[in-house]
Amino acid sequence: MSHMGSTDVTGLAEALAPGMVVTDPDILGAYRFDRANDPDAGTPLALVRPTTTEDVQTTVRWCAANGVPIITRGAGTSLSGGSTAVDGAVTLSTEKMRNLTIDTATRTAVAQPGLLNAEVKAAAAENGLWYPPDPSSFEICSIGGNVATNAGGLCCVKYGVTTDYVLGLQVVLADGRAVRLGGKQLKDSAGLPLTKLFVGSEGLLGIVTEVTLRLLPPQAPACTVVGSFSSVRAASEAVLAVTAQIRPAMLEFMDSVSINAVEDMLKMGLDRNAGALLVAQSDAPGPAGEAEVAIIEQAFARCGAGEVFATADPVESEAFTQARRAAIPAVERLGALLLEDVGVPLPALPDLIDGVEAIAAANRVLISVIAHAGDGNTHPLIVHDPSDADETARANAAFGQIMDLAISLGGTITGEHGVGRLKKGWLRDQVGDDVMDLTKLIKSALDPAGLLNPGVLL
């Protein structure tokens, strides 16, 4: 099998619409990296920007016939290197696959993968409906990428992750056949649960060309409770005090580094002296919501919150949610980031956060921790200067140690970003040899030549 950059893509270009295959080096250069900024990124042999399932089939068949691997790319926002280019491989970008229909009768959206999460949300809202999954990057990440990684977000603590909303898929398999899985029916036990197998499979088993998503009635207006704490330990214990009693609609954590980085960027009046901040929401209606807000306030106070602020004002609420969403870009201003996505069973959250602090000290690197705390999913952000070889080495050491810590606490190396290229060295440590074998058996059955997203996960 030859993966040489010299493979002639003329045949592919002729089989697709004019302009759909791009070999201009300047354009290819823009498709080398995703947001993981992998220094080992290659350069695409060619960029293909299909618009239909048939275009994807044509591309896959040509690649299969010529032994050319395919990297599928959504909006290029992968934080784990899931869409990093590989030398000699075609990069298939779904950015021009943007059809969307909202069906209010079945309460479903049928979306091509290149649509942004925010566009699906907006179209649902225009029809009086709600698509819940809300990665912090929802304004720039694609639905196809969300499906590939089983993306989560802020509301997932109450409303679940992407897989909970995927009712059906169209998928182009490694041999070019297109299959339809599931559909608009809300319950379906017919055959193996193949729809679920593809959600979170990081593009290893097929290329998703259409997604049928379940929509909900609109979310009730939420009340927001913000608590500032002197220590990360106190805040993480407050998380457990809340989740032991209720299921909040949001429960987010920011440490002092991220608070200050966001305040530098947004200047919204966050407490720069806080050791940690929790942002919680209840969307239970009426008195039930008031009761939940009281439970959150009391839990925060009991765990030592210095200040607790509650608001039902949607503008104020959104400001705090935006502050949390802005944390990654804000901390990124301090230096390059190695971005973790480790998760643990909830009671282990304080130990995880303490342990990250110890790892930062031991490796003399700055690590800012933000978290979807209500479901135990944290994002330690390891700040470093890539031009400083020693600091970069220490950052890389910390990156591995944090995953080792999460595994030792019975948790996961990735809660919502996927393994991609950056975390695959730790996957075996988490799941064990037999699960790795099982993974390879399924990969080999569905993609025997290994053409789909080589280098990801395995």
Per CB under 8 A, contacts with a copy of itself among 281-310 are 284-288
- Specify the residue, 302 or 440, whose C-beta has the smaller distance to a copy of itself: 440
346 binds a copy of itself (CB under 8 A): yes
Residue span binding a copy of itself (CB under 8 A) among the ranges 40-48, 305-313, 344-352, 389-397: 344-352
Write the DSSP assignment of 95-132 as a string of letters: TT---EEEETTTTEEEE-TTSBHHHHHHHHHHTT-B--
Q: Which residue has the tokens 């839990």?
A: 299
Residues of span 117-146 touching a copy of itself by CB under 8 A: none
- Specify the residue, 194 or 265, whose C-beta has the smaller distance to a copy of itself: 194
- CB neighbour list of residue 330: distance below 8 Å, 6 or more residues apart: 258, 261, 262, 264, 265, 266
The residue from 13, 89, 154, 199 that contacts a copy of itself (CB under 8 A) is 199
Q: Rounded to the nearest whole angstrom, what is the least distance from the CB of residue 198 to a copy of itself in the complex?
A: 8
Q: Rounded to the nearest whole angstrom, what is the least distance from the CB of residue 388 to a copy of itself in the complex?
A: 30
Separation between Cα atoms, residue 162 and residue 419, nearest integer Å: 16
401 binds a copy of itself (CB under 8 A): no
Residue 380 bridge partners (DSSP)? 369
- Specify the residue, 250 or 413, whose C-beta has the smaller distance to a copy of itself: 413
Contact (CB, 8 A) for 373 and 251: yes
- Specify the residue, 227 or 350, whose C-beta has the smaller distance to a copy of itself: 350
Q: Rounded to 5 degrees, what are φ and ψ at 55?
A: -60, -40
5 binds a copy of itself (CB under 8 A): no
Separation between Cα atoms, residue 23 and residue 59, nearest integer Å: 15
Residue 68's nearest CA partner among 457, 451, 456 is 451
Separation between Cα atoms, residue 270 and residue 258, nearest integer Å: 11
Q: Are strands 46-48 and 90-93 parallel, antiparallel or unpaired?
A: parallel
Q: Rounded to the nearest whole angstrom, what is the least distance from the CB of residue 375 to a copy of itself in the complex?
A: 4
Residues of span 241-260 touching a copy of itself by CB under 8 A: 243-247
312 binds a copy of itself (CB under 8 A): no
Binding residues for a copy of itself, rule CB under 8 A, total 89
**Letter string b/e over residues 5-26, b meaning 16 or more CB atoms within 10 A of that residue's CB:** eebebeebbeebeeebbbeeee
Q: Rounded to the nearest whole angstrom, what is the least distance from the CB of residue 314 to a copy of itself in the complex?
A: 18
Separation between Cα atoms, residue 279 and residue 276, nearest integer Å: 10
CA distances 299 to 229, 237, 240, 346, Å, are 12, 9, 9, 16
180 binds a copy of itself (CB under 8 A): yes
Separation between Cα atoms, residue 192 and residue 198, nearest integer Å: 12
227 binds a copy of itself (CB under 8 A): no
- Specify the residue, 91 or 243, whose C-beta has the smaller distance to a copy of itself: 243
Half-sphere CA count of 55, side-chain side, radius 13 A: 21
Q: Rounded to the nearest whole angstrom, what is the least distance from the CB of residue 275 to a copy of itself in the complex?
A: 24
Residues of span 25-54 touching a copy of itself by CB under 8 A: none
Contact (CB, 8 A) for 274 and 259: yes
Separation between Cα atoms, residue 144 and residue 99, nearest integer Å: 12
For residue 194, give the DSSP letter. Answer: H
203 binds a copy of itself (CB under 8 A): no
The residue from 1, 6, 25, 190 that contacts a copy of itself (CB under 8 A) is 190
Residue span binding a copy of itself (CB under 8 A) among the ranges 40-48, 154-162, 256-264, 332-340: 154-162
- Specify the residue, 372 or 394, whose C-beta has the smaller distance to a copy of itself: 372
Angle between helices 349-363 and 389-408 (to 10 degrees): 160
216 binds a copy of itself (CB under 8 A): yes
Q: Rounded to 5 degrees, what are φ and ψ at 308?
A: -130, 130
Amino acid occupying residue 1:
M
CB atoms within 10 A of CB 445: 9
Q: Rounded to the nearest whole angstrom, what is the least distance from the CB of residue 440 to a copy of itself in the complex?
A: 9
Residue span binding a copy of itself (CB under 8 A) among the ranges 47-55, 149-157, 358-366, 379-387: 149-157
Q: Rounded to the nearest whole angstrom, what is the least distance from the CB of residue 12 to a copy of itself in the complex?
A: 23
Expressed in angstroms, the distance from the first to the final Cα of the chain is 19
- Specify the residue, 421 or 423, whose C-beta has the smaller distance to a copy of itself: 423
Contact (CB, 8 A) for 206 and 169: no
Residues of span 358-397 touching a copy of itself by CB under 8 A: 372, 375-377
The residue from 119, 210, 340, 341 that contacts a copy of itself (CB under 8 A) is 341
The residue from 32, 73, 107, 384 that contacts a copy of itself (CB under 8 A) is 107
The residue from 5, 347, 386, 425 that contacts a copy of itself (CB under 8 A) is 347
4 binds a copy of itself (CB under 8 A): no
The residue from 152, 203, 227, 454 that contacts a copy of itself (CB under 8 A) is 152
Residue 178 bridge partners (DSSP)? 172
160 binds a copy of itself (CB under 8 A): yes
